[in-house]
């Protein structure tokens, strides 16, 4: 069964195949961040871990020269292609991982809402998951931070959203070690959803009295070659 979603942040309806990540608080926080960190018209944009393609669609409002969207899930790729067609946006949606993005780069802007939820078993098959990212929640974040300098043009920037549970400081430090100027540009506290509630009850997350997490948007700028 397919699902169609609506949200006041995104005026248009978003098509979604089953198991594809549903645009929610983290997606909309990053979309709102684009108002404060706008894309210059004519930029080349990458949406890494595109899911439904909602970030690529949001980026299209800034008149970029091109948009590439990459995801490991074939269902996500199909979903993003359908949403691009529905909304009449020219997006190159590619099946693959970072290698596929690097082969098409570098980009002026990189957007990403990667999997970042900690899970108990890193050896478990994660390819079909939309959120699980190993015991520390960094199975995707670490490679993305490593690849950021190669993904970006000089003067380009990345906006990436993640949870406090996957190590805000670890991302900032990793990006800075690779020569990128990095900072948190947006924060929002949101109630646990079903996945985090299950992780909390199973002991994968630090104990806390109130089931609330902080989402952060990190900006990383490439100022030198």
Q: What is the pLDDT of residues 39-91, one digit of tens each?
A: 999 999 999 999 999 999 999 999 999 999 999 999 999 999 999 999 999 99
Is it true that the peptide bond before 106 is cis, omega within 30 degrees of 0?
Answer: yes
Please, what is the average pLDDT of the chain? 85
Which of residues 183 and 212 earns the better pLDDT score?
183
Cα separation, 65 vs 68, whole angstroms: 10
Q: CA–CA separation, 199 vs 121, rounded Å?
A: 12
Q: What is the pTM of this model?
A: 0.86
- Give the CATH superfamily of 3-221: Vaccinia Virus protein VP39 (3.40.50.150)
Span between the terminal Cα atoms of the chain, in Å: 47
Sign of CA dihedral 167, 191, 27, 85: positive
Whole-number Å distance between alpha carbons of 79 and 58: 15
- Contact (CB, 8 A) for 187 and 218: no
Question: 118-150, pLDDT tens digit by residue?
Answer: 666 554 444 435 566 555 678 889 999 999 999
Q: What pLDDT is stored for residue 183 in this prediction?
A: 97
pLDDT score of 9:
44
């Amino acid at each position: 069964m397919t699902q169609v979603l609506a949200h006041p942040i995104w005026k248009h309806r978003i098509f979604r195949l089953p198991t594809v990540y549903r645009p929610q608080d983290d997606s909309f926080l990053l979309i709102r961040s684009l108002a404060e960190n706008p894309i210059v018209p004519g930029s080349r944009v990458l949406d890494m871990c595109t899911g439904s393609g909602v970030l690529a669609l949001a980026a299209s409002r800034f008149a970029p020269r091109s948009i590439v969207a990459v995801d490991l899930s074939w269902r996500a790729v199909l979903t993003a292609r359908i949403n691009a067609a529905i909304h009449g946006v020219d997006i190159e949606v590619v099946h693959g991982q970072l290698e596929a993005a690097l082969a098409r780069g570098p980009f002026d802007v990189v957007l990403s809402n990667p999997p970042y939820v900690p899970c108990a078993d890193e050896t478990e098959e994660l390819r079909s998951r939309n959120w699980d990212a190993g015991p520390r929640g960094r199975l995707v974040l670490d490679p993305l931070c490593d690849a950021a300098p190669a993904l970006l043009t000089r003067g380009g920037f990345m906006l990436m959203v993640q949870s406090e549970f996957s190590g805000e400081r670890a991302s900032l430090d990793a990006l800075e070690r690779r020569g990128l100027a990095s900072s948190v540009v947006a924060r929002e506290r949101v109630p646990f959803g079903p996945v985090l509630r299950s992780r909390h009850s199973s002991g994968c997350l630090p104990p806390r009295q109130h089931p609330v997490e902080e989402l952060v948007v990190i900006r990383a700028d490439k100022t030198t070659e």
